[in-house]
Amino acid sequence: MNTKHLTPSAGRPKAIIIGGGVIGCAAAFELSEAGFDCTVLDKGRLCSEATTAAAGMLGAQVETHHPGPFYELCRISQGMYRRWTDALEHTGGVSTEYIAEGILRAALTEGDEQELRSRLAWIQDARWCTPDELRELEPALSPKVRGGLHFPADHQVHPAALARALKAALVKQGCTIREETPVFRLLKDTRSGRITGVQTAEGPLYADTVVLAAGAWSPALTESLGLPLPMFPVKGQCISVKPQAPLTQSTVFTKGCYIVPKADGSCLVGATQVEAGFDKRATAAVIADLHARASALLPGLADAEFLSTWAGLRPGTRDGLPFMGTWESAPGLIFATGHYRNGILLAPAAGRIVRQLALGEKPLLDLAPFDPARHLNQPAPAL
Ligand SMILES: Cc1cc2nc3c(=O)[nH]c(=O)nc-3n(C[C@H](O)[C@H](O)[C@H](O)COP(=O)(O)OP(=O)(O)OC[C@H]3O[C@@H](n4cnc5c(N)ncnc54)[C@H](O)[C@@H]3O)c2cc1C
């Protein structure tokens, strides 16, 4: 839709955003800035699912294992981040607790060292560090580290602070936020095929643009359109511990475990990765396992105080790429889902792309790899 074509009597274009996680809120922030009258609907409380379960790493480098469109998307979003958090903080007056310290990705095994070294062929903003160089940067690291990569541009935010900042900014921009309001289905005009709104328990709601940002729950809403999104929840459990004194300034990361130091002196240790449906119970065994892994990398954590544990459901996709774009069979609907392990990092780019699509502008990168219907074009596997 192009807002330039609206007559003044039509008023402000309306947008409904299904899902008030970081992606839906980022979309609402951009759309309201562009002049849309936005309503964010969430089945629970804003940002209470994957978003506040996250560690908050902006890991464009540390999280990518090969070059390609996903890395390009991560880099673009990382480049937008500081300006985005500044805008949120300026609008809503709430800090995102952005910390401009990088990530050390250390190897404890030969295989991991080889994998990390192989990334040097294409990765940007990275430097190989010998064990001595790593321990010079972070003296509390285990003497068993074999070297690793320093990613100085992989900063962090605090997800709970980011959630508060997003909510304050949306309220300030006049967005309507309706919590405890699940969307049961999308409303479609039978003649044009256009998505015209959503059905809630309180009745139908109509809009010019509907954004699907329902995280791991998104497929339930596209099934009836004939578009089964190949998505699934990936459970991640974390713990929070507090060492007697701060151990590192940087986030330290090794295969199977990361430790993210937060402003209050606590360390967030994550995370498991389990496909277990929508079960998000945190289990006791994982607490001990994560603590053991973290202590192997940072021995000073051995006697840290245990603070809390929790689990969340990452919106996973079969090919690891998000669904961002539109689908010709459902005009009026914009997909912004499936950001898997990186939704905190990808929120600024995802929000901007939603805005560009809603305004009929060219998106900031080629969206073909993220096409929500890409799997429909793939040949069926041979029997
Ligand atoms: C343990 C863990 C650690 C992570 N660490 C990081 C990290 O360090 N960096 C990073 O970038 N990413 C990280 N992630 C990933 C990141 O949290 C997700 O990619 C991101 O939160 C996805 O955001 P979302 O808005 O798509 O989904 P969600 O935050 O899950 O939000 C979706 C929202 O939609 C709502 N909803 C669903 N169905 C409906 C419906 N029918 N009607 C109305 N509302 C509905 C839900 O209630 C929910 O609030 C981590 C995730 C986990 C679990």
pLDDT tens, residue by residue, 160-190: 999 999 999 999 999 999 999 999 999 999 9
Please give the tally of structural domains in the chain: 2
Q: Is the CB of 309 under 6 A from ligand 1?
A: no
CATH number of the domain bearing residue 268 = 3.30.9.10
Residues near 156 by beta carbon (within 8 Å), at least 6 away in sequence: 55, 56, 57, 58, 98, 99, 101, 251, 260
Among 273, 249, 244, residue whose Cα is nearest residue 260:
249
ipTM over 0.95: yes
Question: So what's the pLDDT on residue 311?
Answer: 98
Q: Which stretch of 5-19, 23-37, 114-128, 183-197 has the lowest confidence by average pLDDT?
A: 5-19
pLDDT tens digit sequence for 227-282 = 999 999 999 999 999 999 999 999 999 999 999 999 999 999 999 999 999 999 99
**Structural domain span for residue 312:** 103-152+232-317
Q: Do 288 and 175 fall into the same domain?
A: no
Last residue of a domain, one of 270, 287, 317: 317
Q: Is residue 219 part of a domain?
A: yes
pLDDT-derived band at 8, boundaries 50, 70, 90: very low
Nearest CA to ligand 1 atom 10: 342
- Judge if the beta carbon of residue 63 lies within 6 A of ligand 1: no
Are residue 165 and residue 313 in the same domain, yes or no? Answer: no
Residue 326: CATH number of its domain: 3.50.50.60
- Which strand ranges, in their side-by-side order, compose the sheet holding 251-254? 127-129, 148-151, 103-106, 251-254, 257-261, 267-270, 231-242, 305-317
Looking at 266, 291, 317, the residue that finishes a domain is 317
Look at residue 6 and tell me whether its pLDDT is greater than 90: no
Cα of 95 vs centre of ligand 1, distance in Å, is 20
The pLDDT value given to residue 5:
34
**383 belongs to a structural domain:** no
Distances 93 to 58, 175, 222, 226, 351 between C-alpha atoms, Å:
22, 16, 36, 43, 20
**Is 63 a member of any domain?**
yes
Q: Please say if the pLDDT value at position 152 is more than 90.
A: yes
Nearest-atom index, ligand 1, CA of 216: 30
- Whether 4 has a pLDDT exceeding 90, the answer reads no
Note whether 82 and 173 are same-domain residues: yes
| Cβ of 48 less than 6 Å from ligand 1 | yes
| Same domain membership, residue 275 and residue 218 | no
Same domain, 167 and 293: no
Check whether 148 has a pLDDT greater than 50.
Answer: yes
Rounded Cα–Cα distance for residues 141 and 136 (Å): 9
Q: Is 43 in the pocket of ligand 1 (CB under 6 A)?
A: yes
